[in-house]
Chains A and B, each alone.
Chain A
């Protein structure tokens, strides 16, 4: 058994190690060391908790058993999961953090003596407030992440689900959460505590269903942030520094990522949260679609164009992930490089279903990270490039965002793909992208559409090179 002062210092150390873990991610070279710091911090936190409780009775064995069960499941998932499924995995993990926070809050509420918070029916006011905030945010994180998971996994339709009176209903529930916390603190009634949890689960569900599939980067980042605030709330209840520091770090990390994602779409945070985007636009753009001529080609034409180019820029998007085309793409690029063609990759901030999704997929296919560029770094290079190879991306290349103030995506930063001498567009059909708007790029003189599955087309091009 160690003194609570000593354990507080160790919790501080583990908090600092977590800061270093995030700090390490500032460059790929230091990132692995950062992850090691994170693991070390976690080991310290867990060991210190055991030592400070000093309880190695039969309960301890069960703690280890449950820890190992969870650990094995987690390790199994981590090794099996394909990189294309990272968004689902992260959403799933968020839901677990949320649920764990709820469970800890429940057991603290049922047995406050174990946590030095007072007695059942007479819990310290401050602790009760912190506990109920932690529980409510945890419950919202849980049910919200479950919906995000189902949408990403395709079990639930990615289309926004909206109904009349949705916003007033949500507002009403949010207000009643605050009222319930107030009543709970004044009466200490356990019924109110359960009610609080129930409506928090409900609001998490209602908040995410109106948000469409391609807004998932924002949703995942936002839930990331929530899971942090839930952890911080529990950290205050437990008076635990490691948990407070971590909660704050994760909370602000998720908030910053949401901000970056919203900026990448030129939409305000509230606009995304209120949802329903893209559902209304489809009807008015579909009529004139068939009238415009499109040049389409095959793998042979594409190979010819690329062989005669001296520089090629690849623009990957979510479609590449769906088709699992990243390895085939890398093979194509290897062949191009053998022919002394300069190749680089351009990644839009909201390409894919979560922040940095495309980078991970390219890294998986052994693409060196110094060939992969962000929007600002590479956008001026399109004018000097011979070929742009757009694979699975759509809205992020649409020049309409720069030219048409009527367009719903007007003002969104886009990749200047149309400035290339020629554009190769791999796509299964002419259907509009997520935003439901036609892409002018399809009809440009210098665009060649390659209608095929992304993976198959890329393989065919490689054969023809």
Chain B
């Protein structure tokens, strides 16, 4: 009997939870704030779905109820992607080591 493709996706999902578990425990506590902002940014990969929805309209009517929700979702996710990555970048640039020559 053939395996339902859902099961494969479920496997990816469960294995990713385990990867997430081990990877996140190894994150140093001083970087927990950047961790939150970067997870914010990457979870906005949901923009993929928004783009599909936005492009679903046909040539005569770009806008229908479904695609409008898609376009709105694109903007929301884009705020997160740009905002999330840039603010993470800004924070990480501030983490500096002690200057050895000072001692």
Contact = CB atoms under 8 A, between A and B. Distances in A.
A35 B89 CA distance: 7
A347 B47 CA distance: 37
Contacts of B91: 83, 86, 360, 363
Interface of B: 5-6, 9, 12-14, 16-17, 19-21, 23-57, 59, 62-67, 69-99
B95 to A, nearest CB: 4
Given A27-B28, A74-B79, A249-B23, A110 B66 contact: yes
Contacts of A21: 38, 42
Contacts of B79: 70-71, 73-74, 77, 93, 96
A227 B75 CA distance: 17
A22 B23 contact: yes
A224 B28 CA distance: 18
A100 B44 contact: yes
B20 A354 contact: no
Given A70-B77, A369-B95, A238 B48 contact: yes
9 contacts: A22-B35, A58-B59, A69-B78, A100-B44, A231-B45, A245-B12, A355-B33, A356-B36, A360-B33
Contact of B86 (A11, A78, A369): A78
A55 B55 CA distance: 7
Interface residues of A, number: 116
Contacts of B9: 236, 239, 241, 244
Interface in A81-136: 81, 83, 86, 89-90, 93-94, 96-97, 99-101, 103-104, 106-108, 110-111, 113-115, 126
A111 B64 contact: yes
A462 interface: no
Contacts of B6: 126, 236
Which of B6, B57, B66: most chain A CB closer than 10 A?
B66
A75 B51 CA distance: 20
B14 to A, nearest CB: 8
A410 to B, nearest CB: 24
A232 interface: yes
Nearest to A73: B79
Contacts of A99: 73, 76
A232 B38 CA distance: 16
Given A32-B92, A359-B31, A58 B55 contact: no
A250 B85 CA distance: 15
B46 A59 contact: no
Contacts of A243: 45-46, 48-49
B20 A249 contact: yes
A165 interface: no
B83 A356 contact: no
Given A93-B40, A370-B97, A38 B31 contact: no
Interface stretch (A41-49, A298-306, A432-440): A41-49
A246 B40 contact: no
A63 interface: yes
Contact of A32 (B30, B56, B93, B99): B93
Q: Which 7 A-B pairs have the closest CB atoms?
A: A70-B78, A356-B32, A74-B83, A114-B56, A74-B82, A248-B16, A252-B20
Nearest to B74: A66
A75 B40 contact: no
B33 A256 contact: no
Interface string A20-44: 0111011110011011001101100
B92 A356 contact: no
B77 A41 contact: no
B83 A93 contact: yes
A253 interface: yes
A19 B19 contact: yes
